[in-house]
Amino acid sequence: MDIAPWHLRTAIAALDAGGVIACPTEAVWGLSCNPLDERACTRLLRLKHRPWEKGLILIASDFAQLEPFVEVPSNNALKRATATWPGPATWIFPASELTPMWISGDHDGVAVRVTSHPLMRALTKRYGGPLVSTSANPAGRDPARSAYEVRRYFRDRIDAVVPGALGGLAKPTTIRDVATGHILRR
C-alpha cells in the first residue's frame, strides 16, 4: 500500500502547521499530530473529549524515532519489544525527561509502537519523527473504521484525512509493559 505523494505532502504540511490529521492504522482509523506540539495535542484531546491524564500513544517507523521519549529499563526489555516490531504491538516504556506531560499523561511511562502499517510507516519516516496515534472517535464512541466515519465524527475539524486501508486487525493493538511483559490491554 503506497501513499500518493501529494497525500503525503498534504499530511506533512498539516502536521508542520500544528494540525491534526486522520489516518488508517492497523485496526482502526486514528488521529495524529506532532507529539512535541502542545497546542496540536491539546486540540486532538479536545476533539476526542479525552482527558490528558490518560496519555497518548506514539507511533514511529523505527525505534530510533522513539528513543528520545523513552528510558530502556534493560537489554532484555528492549529485546522483548523489538522482537515484536515492526508490528501491531504497543509497549509501555518508562518515559524520559524529554517526554511531554501531555503525552505521558498522569503516568511514569509512555506507550510506543513501531508500526508495520505501510502508510503509517511512510508517513512517520517522511515526517522524520514519531506521531501521536490515538483512535479516531470521541470518548465513549466506537473507533472509526472508515474515512466516512472520521468525517461524520469530526466534520471539518480535522486538517487532513489521509486515504488508505486499515491494516486488517479486528481490534486495536495489545499494550504491554516492557519491563515485565504483562498485558495491560488486549
Domain at 159, CATH number? 3.90.870.10
pLDDT of 39 higher than 90: yes
Domain count, the chain: 1
Letter string b/e over residues 82-120, b meaning 16 or more CB atoms within 10 A of that residue's CB: eebbbebbbbbbbbeeebbebbbbebebbbbbbbbbbbb
Question: Global pTM?
Answer: 0.95
Quote the CA–CA distance of 162 and 84 in Å, as a whole number: 26
**Residue reference for cell 502508510:** 119
**Per-residue model confidence as pLDDT tens digits over 13-31:** 999 999 999 999 999 999 9
Overall average pLDDT of the 5-20 stretch: 95
Q: At 64, which helix (H) or strand (E)?
A: helix 63-66
pLDDT at 92 over 80: yes
- 145-160 pLDDT tens trace: 999 999 999 999 999 9
Q: Does the pLDDT of residue 5 top 60, yes or no?
A: yes
Print the domain residue range for 77.
5-185
Q: What percent of the chain has pLDDT over 90?
A: 91
Residue 2 pLDDT level (bands cut at 50, 70, 90): low
- pLDDT the model gives residue 3: 73
Chain segment 108-132, per-residue pLDDT in tens: 999 999 999 999 999 999 999 999 9
Please give the mean pLDDT across all residues of the chain.
95
